[in-house]
Amino acid sequence: MDPRFEEAERIERDAVRDMYAACDAPLGLEATDVGGATAFTASGIPGILINRALGLGVFAPACRADVEAVVAHFAARGIARYLVHLHPGAHPPRLRDWLGELGLRPFRRAWAKFAREGGAVADAETSLRIDEIGADRAAAFARLACDNYGLPPPAEALMRPLAGRPRWHVYLSSDGDRPAGVAAMFVDGEVAWFGYGATDPIYRGRGSQRALLARRLRDALALGARRFYVETGESVPGEPQSSYHNILRAGFERIYVRDNVWPAS
């Protein structure tokens, strides 16, 4: 397996795990290693972006009992809607069959993972102001991120603690005093993960996300990071793909596509 594949999964897992650890709101949050995967569950926040299993069969080969343990873990917490990410290099290939036998079916959208190494960062023009923010503006970040990802209001309590937290860097693009876009970055040594990029619909087309990508790359390089990872949904006919194209324009390369399965309703 390409060493970037494991590193990409690991940095995303570590970022989400740290996000869960930062939140002390009563949301039923758990980040649990089960069956060789990490299961992220939040009984107080419905939704597949929050409840998901990452790394199954990636860091070590899985067996059917591992798959059964992952499915049972969500069932025991009463979580009916969740994703299990299926990495293309996961072992053994029968993972997909086992998940299907347990009632999980393909989700409509796979996630593409992108990688970039250090190097020159192209300018990204925008009329919006780009700032790294602290806890005093964390509410604006959380609200805009949750609104754009379709997350319910309780999820804001999960996002707010990231601003100002060690290893996290949270950004806001603004039109005067009005928040226009948000993004976050988790840096661990030479590796950085970019996530939670979102733009208020009325500001789309103003270069917010391109500028936020460039700012994060420059800041990560200054902090000593040399390898960068981000993911977004694969193309679905009839839906815009601005995030996908912005990532490629920022110098990232698509390195794999991670299928998703979820319980059949």
Strand partners, 254: 114
- Angle at 183 (CA atoms; ends 9, 87), nearest 5 degrees: 20
Q: What are the residues facing 33 on neighbouring strands?
A: 38
pLDDT band of residue 71 (cuts 50, 70, 90) is very high
Q: Model confidence over 129-155: pLDDT tens digits?
A: 999 999 999 999 999 999 999 999 999
Q: Which residues are CB-neighbours of 72 under 8 A, at least 6 positions away? A: none
pLDDT at 240 over 80: no
For the chain, give me the number of helices (H) and strands (E)?
7, 12
Rounded Cα gap, residues 193 and 102, in angstroms: 32
Strands, DSSP E only, in the chain?
29-34, 37-42, 52-54, 83-86, 104-106, 111-117, 129-133, 168-175, 178-188, 191-199, 227-233, 253-263
Q: Is the pTM of this model over 0.85?
A: yes
Residue with tokens 């969500």: 74
Q: Cα 83–84–90 angle (5° rounding)?
A: 155
Which residues fall within 8 angstroms of residue 240, CB to CB, at 6 or more apart? none
Average pLDDT, the chain: 95
For the four alpha carbons of 82, 88, 94 and 100, in that order, the dihedral sign comes to positive
pLDDT digits (tens, 9 = 90+) for 163-178: 999 999 999 999 999 9
User: Are the beta carbons of 193 and 15 closer than 8 angstroms?
Assistant: yes
The whole-angstrom separation of Cα 21 and Cα 264 is 30
Q: Can you list the domains of the chain with their CATH numbers?
A: 3-112 (no CATH), 117-256 (3.40.630.30)
pLDDT, tens digit (0-9, with 9 covering 90-100), for 4-39: 999 999 999 999 999 999 999 999 999 999 999 999
Residue 238 has pLDDT above 90, yes or no: no
Which tokens go with 179?
Answer: 């928040």
- Specify the higher pLDDT residue, 205 or 73: 73
Amino acid at 58: V
Model pLDDT for residues 184-223, shown as the tens digit of each residue: 999 999 999 999 999 999 999 899 999 999 999 999 999 9
Which burial class, exposed, middle or buried, applies to 257 when counting CB atoms under 10 A from its CB (0-12, 13-18, 19+)?
middle
Asked if residue 242 has pLDDT above 80, the reply is no
